[in-house]
Amino acid sequence: MKGKVLITGGAGFIGSHLADELIDNGYTVRALDNLSPQVHGRQAKRPDYLNSQVELQIGDVRDENAVSQALEGIDTVFHLAAMVGVGQSMYQIKDYTEVNNLGTAVLLEQLIKNPVKKLVVASSMSIYGEGLYADKEGKPYSSCQRNIEDLKNDNWEMQNENSILSPVPTPENKKPNLSSVYALSKYDQERLCLMTGKAYNIPTTALRFFNIYGTRQALSNPYTGVLAIFASRLLNERAPMIFEDGLQKRDFIHVKDVARACRYAMEKSTANNDVFNIGSGRQYTVIELAERLAAVMKKHIQPEVTGKYRIGDIRHCFADISKARELLDFEPKIDLEDGLAELADWLKDQIAIDNVNKASVELASRGLTV
């Protein structure tokens, strides 16, 4: 065996696929996961999809004893444990801060006592806020924000004093613009890990994940990835709900490509003490994704474009992955068509509780939709 790896949040969507990738490549894997009901359901138990070779330790990343026990004999840590979702983070501020920020602090204090050879932390595209833009002359704009009056009048696009700006691929050196509690917590996780890793000589890598999709995503969690939310609606014969006009652009990457990128970040010294975008390097509109998913699921249901805006949402952001290509030798392998076909095949046997309307009411009641 090549070494023993701990994945916090290892029973979840990304963590379980990462476990498969590591086990297939000769590593021993332990997972620390609290089996959160929002992700795993109320009768939380070891997920059927979790590789049988994974040693699952049920515990909370905020629990010093649980983390200390999980680190025994470990060579590498992947820190994936986090509460996810922009909208929910804007009213469950304490929960997000405790799990994401405090949980990371607890892990790092235990790593000081039990150093490892490598730490890889899951960061997020959300830290960028809006992606990078350019005007007609190619001049970059890196600190764009929309104002509420434009949004109320359905003026969705970013603009300067003269014209509408065009979105361009976002590189790692774009200045963060934190527009949600979730984004703040992910930036905190990233910085805490890099800072502490440097201080205690633990090689550390932060991976800024873009929109991840694939099998095993929590379909009944209305704050998970957008494709899983759309799938939940379609499985219940309901239209996917789309904010704004649906033409906002995102980068969607398959979870198996993400798992491979994680392994490369662990294995390559060129990743040490650095930050990388992990995306497909391609851009798709949200409405296009909804329509393509409905087609592969054989559902003749058009998406519902709400014309509403959620506080904390951004217009366009998609990845420049040239740095990951150069230093990690990372190249996405699964194209969207094949990835959606695999997802549709998996969805045939899934049951989803559609909580989207409930989440929408929750946001609206707090004034978080416009």
The type of residue at 157 is E
Can you give the pLDDT at residue 361?
67
> Does 368 have pLDDT greater than 70?
no
Q: Give the mean pLDDT of 231-246.
A: 94
Can you name the residues that pair with 5 across neighbouring β-strands?
29, 76
Which range, of 98-102, 115-119, 330-334, 352-356, averages the lowest pLDDT? Answer: 352-356
d(CA 99, CA 344): 32
Read off the pLDDT of residues 50-93 as tens digits, 9 standing for 90 and up: 999 999 999 999 999 999 999 999 999 999 999 998 888 999 99
Taking a C-beta distance cutoff of 8 angstroms, is the pair 10, 74 a contact?
no
Q: What is the DSSP string of 204-253?
A: EEEEEE-EEE-TT--TT-TTS-HHHHHHHHHHTT-PPEESTTS--EE-EE
Backbone phi and psi for residue 15, each to the nearest 5 degrees, phi listed first: -60, -40
Average pLDDT, the chain: 93
In degrees rounded to 5, what are phi and psi of residue 126? -60, -20
Spatial distance between the Cα atoms of 141 and 158, rounded to a whole number of angstroms: 10
Residue 134 to residue 144: CA distance in whole angstroms: 10
Pair of tokens at residue 323: 């740095």
3-state SS class at 271: helix
Alpha-carbon gap, residue 250 to 150, rounded angstroms: 21
Residues paired with residue 201 on neighbouring β-strands, in sequence order: none
pLDDT at 42: 77
Lowest mean pLDDT among 113-127, 303-317, 348-362: 348-362
- Judged on CB neighbours under 10 Å (0-12, 13-18, 19+), 209 is buried
Residue 204 has pLDDT above 90, yes or no: yes
The per-residue pLDDT for range 338-347, each reduced to its tens digit, is 999 999 999 9
Helices (runs of H) and strands (runs of E) counted in the chain: 14, 16
Q: CA 171: distance to chain centroid?
A: 17
Q: At 141, is the secondary structure helix, strand, or coil? A: strand
How many angstroms separate the CA atoms of 310 and 179, rounded? Answer: 11
* Alpha-carbon gap, residue 109 to 305, rounded angstroms: 46
Q: Is the pLDDT of residue 224 over 80?
A: no
Dihedral sign (CA 236, 241, 246, 250): negative
Distance from CA of residue 266 to its chain's centroid? 18
Largest CA distance in the chain: 60
Domains annotated for the chain, with CATH where assigned, are 4-365 (3.40.50.720)
SS3 state at 272: coil
Q: What is the mean pLDDT of residues 351-361?
A: 70
- What are the CA-CA distances from residue 360 to residues 54, 127, 183, 310, 325 (Å)? 36, 23, 20, 10, 38
pLDDT tens figures, 4-51 = 999 999 999 999 999 999 999 999 999 999 999 888 887 778 999 999
This prediction has a pTM of 0.95
**Residue 297 binned pLDDT confidence (cut-offs 50, 70, 90):** very high
